């Protein structure tokens, strides 16, 4: 029976991490590499014990821009984790693992290919 409560607690933490991580990126991380970059938190996976959070981000731009932004995010992870700890009241602030999410790009490419096929261009 505890699993139902664990799921809802993990889901609440997941949603809070998405919201707060996005806000921290927008307002607290002041790095020139992030200025004018479109960065979206697409999902968060939280471990059952709430001690680990895998944060998926989508970054618009070419591979060089994505790599540069990911390097900054990796370097800023301790600061982001600290800010999360201040905003989300938990016994333990989750360890943060930021991952690049290319699913939006892949979806856009598939849509583009389907449009080309429907127009007879492929």
Q: What is the pLDDT of residues 57-97, one digit of tens each?
A: 999 888 899 999 999 999 999 999 999 999 998 889 999 99
Q: Is the pLDDT of residue 4 over 70?
A: no
Section 44-65 average pLDDT? 92
At the topology level, CATH places domain 2-118 in GMP Synthetase; Chain A, domain 3 (3.30.300)
Model confidence, pTM: 0.79
pLDDT band of 1, cuts 50, 70, 90? very low
Question: 119 is written with which tokens?
Answer: 């127009």
Rounded Cα distance, 89 and 81, in Å: 12
Burial of 119 (0-12, 13-18, 19+ CB in 10 A): exposed
Helix (H), strand (E) at residue 12: helix 2-27
For the chain, the structural domain boundaries read 2-118
CA 118, CA 9: separation in Å to the nearest integer? 45
pLDDT computed for residue 122 by the predictor: 65
* Residue 105 predicted with pLDDT over 80: no
Report the C-alpha gap between 22 and 44 in whole angstroms: 11
Q: Indicate whether 5 pLDDT > 80.
A: no
Six-digit token string for 35? 């200025």
- pLDDT interval class at 33 (50, 70, 90): confident
CA–CA distance, 20 with 39 (Å, rounded to integer): 14
- Positive/negative CA dihedral, 47, 52, 55, 109: negative
């Amino acid at each position: 029976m505890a699993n139902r409560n664990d799921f809802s607690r993990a889901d609440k933490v997941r949603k809070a991490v998405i919201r707060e991580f996005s806000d921290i990126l927008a307002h607290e991380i002041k790095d020139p590499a992030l200025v004018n970059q479109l960065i979206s938190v697409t999902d968060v996976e939280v471990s059952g014990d709430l001690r680990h959070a895998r944060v998926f981000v989508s970054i618009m731009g070419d591979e060089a821009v994505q790599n540069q932004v990911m390097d900054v995010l990796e370097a800023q992870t301790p600061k982001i984790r600290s800010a999360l700890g201040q905003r989300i009241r938990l016994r333990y602030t989750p360890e943060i693992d930021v991952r690049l999410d290319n699913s939006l790009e892949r979806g856009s490419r598939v849509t583009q290919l389907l449009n080309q096929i429907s127009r007879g261009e492929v």
